[in-house]
Amino acid sequence: MTPVYVAADNITSPLGNSTKENFEKVKNDLSAIRKITDTSLSSEPFYASMFANDFFEELESDFTCFEKICIASIADALSGASIKLSSSDTLFILSTTKGNIELIEGREVNEEIRKRISLFDTAKIIAGHFGAENKPLVVSNACISGVLSVIIAKRMLEAGKYKHAVITGADVLSRFIISGFQSLNAMSKNPCKPFDKTRDGINLGECAATIVLTTDKSLSKNILVNGGASSNDANHISGPSRTGLELSFAVKSAMHESKVDAQDLSFISAHGTATLFNDEIEAKAFSNASLSQIPLHSLKGHFGHTLGAAGVLESIFTYQSLLEGIVLPSKNFETLGVSENVFVNRELSRGDKNHALKTASGFGGCNAAIIYSHT
Amino acid sequence: MNNQISITSYILLRNNQIILDGKVIFENKELTAFDFLQAAYDHFQINYPKFFKMDSLCKTGFIVNEILLRDKKLSEEFQPEEIGIIFSNANSSLDSDIRYEASIANTPSPALFVYTLPNVLIGELCIRHRIKGETACFVFDIFDATFQSDYVNLLFETEKVKTCVSGWADYYNGKAETFFYLAETGKENSLTHNSSNVNKIFQGI
């Protein structure tokens, strides 16, 4: 099988418009999470990571906010790469949970609106802007969409179906999404605290992140996309597994495929949403997979939960940390608040290993795990 | 050992008909698509109270999978993590999205919100049949037999699944369409799993 490498990337978030800018700000412990008071989104104030209103106006017109950030992210990611979406060798994958859902708010959904918000048409509009030749692939698999998209792209490239893939993960926040998480009592009343004893829920976030993969080693930025797998809890549609065993299946499968042992891992980039259940079950899964001693962090304290973007955004941070030889701390973490004695990283430290694990879990009981390796 | 990947059974729900392995096993042209799902539930004497909580997309996928898998002994032949489900559709969870959106003005309904993700159908099927392996949910404009069969074959070839439920389930605007099949290896005298055969059975040819 042909190895698959990372060629380029971009993060467009409220913290910055490039991978470098986002990475530097996170290294300096900055967070995009702030108190939002906007009655068009929620009658109550809430904490989230959102773009300023004028951000979208600065970007090209004729597109929705969702499409604008996707296009900005892809344009930057491809600016330094010789890979083009207009080539028949390049696959485009859009990873999103709700895309343009805000277009249905307060109006009747006629055929025109249906087509405008259809995720496939949205992906075609975005890919069309770059003259894409191939039909896009849309992955809409709740909060594992991003990690799963990278795994799917890697499998398609390994099998020789394409030479390159452009994967964009994105979601924007709307009343629809915010009210939904509020109705589930899932939102924290403060900046979220993954794995902490006092954690009380998530912060939502907006982001578009893009990873460009290639089978051409000369285009690689020295990162191999190693083994990946998904699994399902078969337990509850909106709550996690009781034991975390199923997430540990995916982790073990990804490690097995990568021929990587626990002692080879520099760190784990956990899903770490800061809900009571997610972090508890994730800690159990890491313990099941004999990874309790590996430093872990969640990036949700910096960006919130960016839904369809999360797995792409956090993957970029994972391999960028490997390239710089560092392990990031888990922001807002103070006192361990899960039953397993996992190693939540408190301070930016040196990482001297060449592999890192990224995991994700989501509604519908889905889990995914992927290993990135420094070549 | 025969490693060829085969389609061992397939089922279609379309225009108020359910067709299993090419034979019409239930039809009722008088009913709405929504009522047809309930009628099928009753006709096949399915007993699964969670059905009544599901949204229409999940019901559409659930009914056909009950029939597809009821005489199969997947849990005896395979470990839960060796079984996969790969599905695609056109309208994502739009039917539930519109229902949830309508609830926001009064009290946003958490029971509706959890169905505003299309992969929740996979979650329901996994719970019902104790399936814990590879899953994925894709959105296309129309069913793509080539992608569907290529991706499922990749999962077999890379040993990520030993058997896989694969297909399409869409529900929107009072129209239900489901097509699922079971892909397995080592079965003699069955249809080869490739895009041409998947497309033929999807078209009902």
- Span A80-122, pLDDT tens digits: 779 999 999 999 999 999 999 999 998 899 999 999 999 999 9
CATH number at B5-203: 3.40.47.10
Is the per-residue pLDDT at A2 higher than 80? yes
Residue A59: is its pLDDT beyond 90? no
Q: Which amino acid is at A251?
A: V
Distance from CA of B105 to the nearest CA of A (A): 9
CA distance A22 to A10: 9
Which domains are seen in chain A, by residue range? Answer: 5-219 (3.40.47.10), 223-374 (3.40.47.10)
Q: Any residues with CB less than 8 A from the CB of B137 and at least 6 apart, and which?
A: A139, A140, A141, B87, B88, B89, B118, B119, B121, B122
Counting one residue from chain A and one from chain B, the pairs whose CB atoms sit within 8 A come to: 147
Give yes or no for A182 touching B (CB within 8 A): yes
pLDDT at residue A243, rounded to an integer: 93
- Locate A165 and state its tokens: 């893939």
Mean pLDDT over each residue of chain B, to the nearest integer: 96
* Predicted pLDDT at B2: 62
pLDDT digits (tens, 9 = 90+) for A172-188: 999 999 999 999 999 99
Q: What is the pLDDT of residues B33-49, one digit of tens each?
A: 999 999 999 999 999 99
User: Smallest Cβ distance to A364: which of B117, B140, B158?
Assistant: B117
- State pLDDT tens for residues A214-227: 999 999 999 999 99
Q: Which residues pair with A167 in a beta bridge?
A: A93, A211
Dihedral (CA of A246, A318, A212, A77) sign? positive
Q: Is the pLDDT of residue A61 over 80?
A: no
**Per-domain boundaries in chain B:** 5-203
Predicted local distance difference test score (pLDDT) of residue B190: 87
By the 8 A CB rule, do B167 and B87 touch? yes
List, in order, residues 6 or more apart from A34 with CB less than 8 Å away: A47, A48, A49, A50
Q: Map residue B102 onto helix, strand or coil.
A: helix
CA dist list (Å): A203 to A1, A273, A292, B40, B139: 40, 8, 26, 42, 27
pLDDT at A60 over 70: no
B79-122 pLDDT, tens per residue? 999 999 999 999 999 999 999 999 999 999 999 999 999 999 99
Chain B CB within 8 Å of residue A363 CB: yes
Q: Is the pLDDT of residue A194 over 60?
A: yes
pLDDT for the residue numbered B95: 97
| Beta carbons of A365 and B126 less than 8 Å apart | yes
**Averaged pLDDT, B142-166:** 97
Give Cα separations from A330 to A27, A157, A302, A333 (angstroms).
11, 33, 9, 6
Across the interface, whether the CB atoms of A98 and B124 are under 8 A apart is answered no
- In percent, the amount of chain A with pLDDT more than 70 equals 100
Q: Which amino acid is at A209?
A: A
Nearest to B133 among A135, A184, A231 (CB): A231
Provide the pLDDT confidence category of residue B204 given band limits of 50, 70 and 90: confident
Distances (CA, A) of A174 to A14, A251, B187: 16, 33, 49
Check CB contact of A139 with chain B, cutoff 8 Å: yes
* Chain B interface test: which of A140, A235, A370 (most B C-beta within 10 Å): A140
Contact state of A182 with B108 under an 8 Å Cβ cutoff: yes
Instruction: Return the pLDDT at A74.
Output: 98
Average pLDDT for residues A136-154, to the nearest whole number? 98
Average pLDDT (A165-171) is: 98
Indicate if the pLDDT at residue A3 is higher than 60.
yes
Q: Is A237 in the B-facing interface, judged by CB distances under 8 Å?
A: yes
Contact criterion met (CB below 8 Å) for A182 and B108: yes
Is pLDDT at B205 greater than 80 in this prediction? no
- Given a cut of 70, whether residue A323 has pLDDT beyond it is yes
Reference A152, options A304, A311, A265, A8; nearest CA is A311
Q: A237, A288, A367: best mutation site toward chain B, by most B Cβ within 10 Å?
A: A237
**Is residue B148's pLDDT more than 60?**
yes
